[in-house]
Amino acid sequence: MKRDKDELEKSERLPHHHHSKEEELALIHNMPGDNAIDAVAEAMKQLGDPTRLKIFWILCHTEECVLDLSAIISMSSPAVAHHLKLLKSTGLITARREGKEVYYKAAETPLVWKLHTTIEDVAEIRCPQ
């Protein structure tokens, strides 16, 4: 059963008393909202695919076009374009057009920076720049 913040305030305690009432209330009040959780879950879902994770990591370090990304990861351009579309729809990457060419790079957001550093920490690799 999901309890909202107001309901918990009205009740005396959570069913199991592992923490003080103040700690329980602080946890509930500081819990991210559904929109924030959904955004993070979608980003993690997109990065759960090894190919998209690799593309994202590359784009955290450089701006690239589809053809160059295809060559770097040895995958067809249509397949890379599909992965780029998914990453872009989540806001993890951005695109800019220069003539006929489209260049992609990681979005400049706090979430993207945190994901980038987390990937490198977990994989125990250093940023090449």
pLDDT higher for 20 or 93?
A: 93
Predicted model pTM: 0.79
The token pair at 92 is 């993890």
> What are the structural domains, with CATH classification, of the chain?
5-31 (no CATH), 36-123 (1.10.10.10)
The dihedral sign for the CA sequence 31, 36, 38, 39: negative
In the chain, the percentage of residues whose pLDDT exceeds 90 is 67
Q: Between 6 and 64, name the one with better pLDDT.
A: 64
Q: DSSP letter string over 87-108? A: HHHTTSEEEEEETTEEEEEE--
pLDDT tens digits for range 115-128:
999 999 999 988 77
Residue 1 has what pLDDT?
45
Give the model confidence (pLDDT) of 40-59 as tens digits.
899 999 999 999 999 999 99
For residue 120, what are the β-bridge partners? none
| pLDDT tens for each residue of 8-43 | 554 566 777 787 888 888 888 888 999 989 988 999
